[in-house]
A = this chain, B = another copy of it.
Amino acid sequence: MVGSVEVGALSEKSNGKVDLLMEEFDPMAVVSEPLPPVVVDNVECVNGEAKTKTREIVLGKNVHTSCLEVTEPEANDEFTGDKDAYMAGVLARYRRTLIERTKYHLGYPYNLDFDYGSLAQLQHFSINNLGDPFIESNYGVHSRQFEVGVLDWFARLWEIEKNDYWGYITNCGTEGNLHGILVGREVFPDGILYASRESHYSVFKAARMYRMECVKVDTLISGEIDCTDFRTKLIPNKEKPAIINVNIGTTVKGAVDDLDLVIQTLEECGYSHDRFYIHCDGALFGLMMPFVKRAPKVSFKKPIGSVSVSGHKFVGCPMPCGVQITRIDHINALSRNVEYLASRDATIMGSRNGHAPIFLWYTLNKKGYKGFQKEVQKCLRNAHYLKDHMRDAGISAMLNELSSTVVFERPLDEEFVRRWQLACQGNIAHVVVMPSVTIEKLDDFLEELIQKRATWYQDEKVRPPCLSAEIGVENCACPLHKILGKLSLGLHDQWSPDNFPVTACFRTLGQKYGTVENLVGSLSRFFFWKLLNPTWQTSYREPDQNQIYKITQLSNQQILTQISKKLKLAKALAGNSIENSYKQFIASL
């Protein structure tokens, strides 16, 4: 339907100036890209366009860049004390490095602010909660009493009764996901795993490990799961149960999937509650959400199967750990299938770190619900502070409403990235505002970033990357979007050439800007649209729409060249005010 309207609209256009303008249109006139490609993980910048390509995996070698070799003690070491002195020296230097690195840490969601001095006395013991937290083993040096206390606390947080839940303290967020998805698969052996593209990589690792069919669902610009796409992907697979990974905070953008909408979509597609299993990956925000007003509640009163959260993130812990809670019915189902085991074997790992539960128990007791609430509020406040100050400084930045993850333009200098230990992906980097991240630290960071940027981008040929594809036009402050913003062209989603009859669109633009049509000719709108939406690929392939298609294939630089030509053309037709705007536009690129 939409398609046919558009084709009609375009046919109308193709009888106008399009052909004329396209005569001087030379898509091959590629201006060499002045931007040095940003060295990134899985994206290579070519001609200013981010092209996703498979990252070259370092194969065939192990990098031994830094290695503290283990050496055999000398016969007289005990006498001379040389080795002891050497080791003490290594450790002291290492400790200083850790202090320094802890100070300049912003990129990972680890709360580095903890004091477990009272627990140092326990380091002398080999504490191991092997197996199930609720089944005593004969190994006496365990901390199950602490573990169960912590699990009960989380069960209360996620609204499930003591007798209805089962859980354990894991080694990390990945183990939680591996467990949740395994339980889902055991409940529905032929179930299909659905997860948004921005889910943590461990979710896809699980699918591969467990030999599960896995369907990737698109995401919105915010990073949330796109439930329209989810619906499209659910419907053809209706004969198989669904296992869904819901992100309570994605890794990169801190986006919180709308759990209620996911459930609603499943119901609307005809999945009854006994035909789906939802695992909530709350690695980071699973513990923050309950304290954020307006946040969709993670609760076992809803038809979810499991929730996991990391313990070393918001809580803070010397070593990685996590909490996994699921319904005991599921664990019973899983255990009934296990014919080769003498006992319930429901954990992924066998021997389990018994110190982690004590660290968690200690912090939960110290802070309590109220303490966490205060810290969550502080983190969200500080995250807003950072985002606002970045935007004020003209830096592209985004902050999801329910998140303390500020996504922004990837710093050009890898040294800076390493110094602040920023996690990067493609053109974006992020700061996760944890309780250990104070306003002072953010100020230091901002000051340094602004200073450095002035040097990175002092040469006009080097420009900050455009992030409209990653964080949306409204959050992008790249030179182009900055000037477009100033020009107030105001091209919004609903004006997409793909969505909106061209005539109506032009009428609106005409009403608003009067001389837009005169300025760059009728096709220029498509140039602008492409600039604003680098990923736009029109579906028009009608022979007489070929020019439109060609535009969608151009790089930004090529488009700018075209606009420049058209502006010259338009100059004769248009008033000076537009020319001035153009000058300003070019100057700030």
Which A residues form the contact surface with B (CB < 8 A)?
A: 41-42, 54-55, 57-73, 83, 87-88, 91, 94-95, 98, 101-102, 104-105, 107-108, 110-112, 114-116, 118-128, 130, 134-136, 138-141, 143-146, 148-150, 152-153, 162-163, 165-166, 171-175, 178, 182, 200-202, 204-205, 208-211, 310, 312, 316-320, 328, 332, 335-336, 338-345, 348-356, 361-362, 364-371, 417-418, 421-425
Contacts and interface: CB of A to CB of B under 8 A. Distances in A.
Contacts of A119: 91, 123
Contact of A344 (B57, B364, B367): B57
Given A98-B141, A141-B98, A320 B210 contact: no
Given A162-B62, A345-B205, A91 B73 contact: no
A103 to B, nearest CB: 10
A344 B352 CA distance: 26
Contacts of A424: 138
A328 B59 CA distance: 8
A398 B407 CA distance: 63
Identify the interface centre among A182, A317, A336, A341: most chain B CB within 10 Å of its CB.
A341
Nearest to A86: B365
A584 to B, nearest CB: 37
A353 B351 contact: no
B107 A138 contact: yes
B351 A174 contact: yes
A138 B73 contact: no
A115 B126 contact: no
B145 A66 contact: yes
A171 B421 CA distance: 25
19 contacts: A55-B343, A59-B335, A59-B336, A62-B328, A63-B135, A68-B146, A68-B149, A69-B149, A87-B362, A88-B118, A101-B140, A120-B120, A120-B123, A130-B320, A174-B348, A174-B350, A178-B348, A312-B351, A320-B353
A102 B125 contact: yes
Q: Copy number in this complex?
A: 2
A328 B125 contact: no
Contact of A98 (B120, B122, B136, B423): B122
A162 B64 contact: yes
B41 A342 contact: yes
A140 B343 contact: no
Contact of A421 (B71, B140, B173, B421): B140
Contact of A139 (B42, B65, B211, B421): B421
A365 B201 contact: no
A124 B64 contact: no
Nearest to A182: B209
Given A204-B341, A351-B310, A351-B320, A116 B123 contact: yes
B317 A126 contact: yes
Contacts of A204: 340-341
A66 B340 contact: no
Nearest first, the 6 closest Cβ-Cβ pairs linking A and B are A320-B351, A101-B140, A174-B350, A172-B351, A42-B342, A66-B145
A350 B200 CA distance: 10
B318 A67 contact: no
Contact of A136 (B65, B143, B210): B65
A73 B371 contact: yes
Contacts of A148: 62, 64, 66-68
Contacts of A121: 91, 95
B353 A171 contact: yes
Given A70-B150, A349-B172, A355 B422 contact: no
Nearest to A356: B319
Nearest to A101: B140
Nearest to A172: B351
A115 B171 CA distance: 24
B174 A365 contact: no
Contact of A152 (B42, B69, B369): B69
Given A68-B361, A174-B349, A318-B355, 4 more contacts: A62-B134, A83-B366, A130-B320, A138-B424
A172 B352 contact: yes
A64 to B, nearest CB: 6
A332 B182 CA distance: 26
A523 to B, nearest CB: 37
B125 A318 contact: yes
A41 B419 CA distance: 54
Nearest to A129: B320
A422 B140 CA distance: 10
A479 B72 CA distance: 51
Identify the interface centre among A98, A143, A166, A175: most chain B CB within 10 Å of its CB.
A98
Contacts of A208: 338
A338 B42 CA distance: 14
A98 B101 CA distance: 34
A156 B554 CA distance: 55
Contacts of A354: 319
Identify the interface centre among A83, A150, A365: most chain B CB within 10 Å of its CB.
A365
B350 A134 contact: no
A266 B290 CA distance: 57
A323 to B, nearest CB: 12
A542 to B, nearest CB: 34
Contacts of A368: 71-73
Given A87-B365, A340-B204, A102 B141 contact: yes
